[in-house]
Amino acid sequence: MNYTKTIEYINSFVNFEKIPKYQYAASFNLERMNAILDKLGNPHKNLNVIHVAGSKGKGSTCAILAYILKEAGYKVGLYTSPHLVDFKERIRILDHRPQTKGHRTDMFEGMISEEEINEVVEGIMPVAEKFREHKILGKISFFEILTACTFLYFKKEQIDVAVLETGLGGRLDATNVTVPLVCGITNISLEHTDKLGDTLSRIAYEKAGIIKEQSLVVSVLQEKEAMDVIRKVCKEKKAKLYEVGKDIKCSIVNSNESGQIFDIESSWYSYKNLEIDLIGAHQIENASLSIGMLKAIEYKKFNIGEDDIREGLKRATWPGRLQIIQKKPYIILDGAQNPASMLALISSIKKIFRYKKLICVFGISGDKDIKGVSGILDTVSDIIILTKAKDNPRAEDVSRLKKHFLDSRPGLEDSSDIDEAMQKALKLANKEDLILVTGSLFIIGDAMQCFNNVTKLTL
């Protein structure tokens, strides 16, 4: 099987990432996932797992965890979603050994090669076909297939630790078949309300579903409604909870477009002047969460020194989040797709960058809070260029997206795709301006391809 055939095969299964509306509880089934893995020899059961859920910041947190663990000398499996440009970005292994042929070493270090994904998919096909249309357990999904492949690959590669990002929610997510060493909960906000619930407490309940009996849990500071749920679940399951902002304190020393310096302190560790290239105040929170998780499990089996933390933070990259790819004018990519993420993004841009006009290139999926996100952009942008992702059936049409902005609003443009949108933005921008490409991560991926220089982007 070649790589093209492999991708076609995986895409032949139902992909909820590209379906706008479906019944959440009826579509996800951990019993099915466990049955699939049982047929494959339960490759997940002996993995050392670090599990991360939340509404925003999951990917950044997972990347930071992986890079620190790598610096400590461990072979780290990293499983994240969705991908921006290349399907193989989702499954990566980070360690200090030389990268073999087929593994990129730039933005997405250590991603699985085409040959490796071909091999693992071929191995799973006989089992996958049995569950394609299972009479009792229902249809196996794209994400379940991919998660099973990831577990098989990580087992084959004999990794030391797997860092897993949940796909959607947590409680019913395919990754939730594992028993992690520690769980991390990033910032929770209103998202996927038609699937996870229309209140913070309901969404927090789904995210907190990754918490296991007598486990270790670290959470960032949440809104009271969400924090109450996390504390309640931890109490019911007798899980030990550490809270960033309460048990773990962090403070920004300096922040600019080149990176940030921060301090972190708890009752059992304290580090001054930690440096991280990821920009935005929210990344300090994600970094503090990552450090807290690693320190929580350090006494079990991991030896993570201060130098490992410092070097891992410096090396951590997570493309598509406040990523500067050009200056004069600035071009910044950030996949902010709910109001909370957009507010954090705009706040960071105003604090970090100096510019005259803000030109936004904006496209988003139809199942997001378009009104909320559009309202924020409407108030801060000088020019807004609406566009649509090329390969996302959930993408909102520009004609409908335009209805969320006043017709009389000056500087409102539309475009057929990201290529046209970027041409318009660059034509309208002066050297002192800032072009922000934002909304759906599909838009971010399209923008990266538009520049046709993915491997050389400035991180």
Residue 98 carries which DSSP code? P
CATH code of the domain containing 380: 3.90.190.20
pLDDT tens-digit readout, 401-452: 999 987 768 899 999 999 999 999 999 999 999 999 999 999 999 999 887 6
Chain centroid to CA 19? 19
Judgement on whether residues 262 and 384 belong to the same structural domain of the protein: no
Q: Are residues 304 and 328 in the same domain?
A: no
CB atoms near residue 423 (< 10 Å)? 13
Residue 12: CA count within 13 A, CB half-sphere: 13
Provide the domain limits for residue 339. Answer: 323-456
* pLDDT the model gives residue 301: 77
Do residues 248 and 397 share a domain? no
Q: Is the same domain home to 99 and 191? A: yes
Separation between Cα atoms, residue 272 and residue 261, nearest integer Å: 9
What's the rounded Cα separation, in Å, for the pair 91 and 136? Answer: 30
Q: How many domains does the chain have?
A: 2
Same domain, yes or no: 121 and 262: yes
pLDDT value at residue 99: 58
Task: For residues 353 and 342, give the distance between their C-alpha atoms in angstroms, rounded to a whole number.
Answer: 16
The backbone region for 214, taken as left when phi is positive above 0, alpha when psi lies in -120 to 50, beta otherwise, is left
Same domain, 68 and 201: yes
Does residue 336 share a domain with residue 272?
no
408 and 310 assigned to the same domain = no
Residue in the block written with tokens 């399951």: 237
Residues 328-357 pLDDT 10s:
999 999 999 889 899 999 999 999 999 999
The most distant pair of C-alpha atoms in the chain lies apart, rounded to whole Å, by 62
Contact 124, 9 (CB under 8 A): no
Question: Is the same domain home to 214 and 309?
Answer: yes
| CA dist., res. 259 & res. 299, Å (int) | 31
pTM of the complete model: 0.93
Check whether residue 309 and residue 335 sit in a common domain: no
Domain boundary among 315, 333, 356: 315
For CA atoms 212, 214, 219, 222, the dihedral sign is: positive
Sequential DSSP letters for 186-226: -B--S-SHHHH-SSHHHHHHHHGGG--TT-EEEE----HHH
CB-based contacts of 193, cutoff 8 Å, min separation 6: 203, 369
Nearest to 261 by CA among 269, 250, 270: 250
- What's the CA gap between 15 and 207, in Å, rounded? 21
Helix (H) or strand (E) holding 94: strand 91-94
CATH number of the structural domain spanning residue 147? 3.40.1190.10
DSSP designation for 397: P
Residues 282 and 393 in one domain: no
Crossing angle of the two packed helices 58-71 and 306-315, in degrees rounded to 10: 130
Using alpha carbons, select from 394, 441, 452 the residue that is nearest to residue 419. Answer: 452
Is the distance from CB of 160 to CB of 49 less than 8 angstroms?
A: no
Contacts of residue 162, defined as CB under 8 A and 6 or more positions apart, other chains included, come to 47, 48, 49, 50, 76, 77, 78, 79, 154, 178
Residues 300 and 334 in one domain: no
Query: Strand pairing of 270-276 and 259-266?
Result: antiparallel
Tell me the three state secondary structure of residue 278.
coil
* C-alpha separations of 28 from 11, 62, 167, 170, 192 in Å: 17, 23, 11, 11, 15
Which residue is it, tokens 């991360």? 52
What integer pLDDT is reported at residue 104 of this predicted model? 43
Output the CA–CA distances (angstroms, integers) from residue 104 to 27, 83, 93, 162, 165, in the order listed: 34, 14, 11, 19, 21
Domain end marker among 251, 286, 315? 315
Torsion, CA 389, CA 120, CA 142, CA 233, rounded to 10? -110
Separation of alpha carbons 170 and 350, rounded Å: 33
Domain final position from 283, 315, 347: 315
pLDDT at 260: 97
Q: Which residues of the chain have pLDDT under 70?
A: 97-106, 408, 452-459
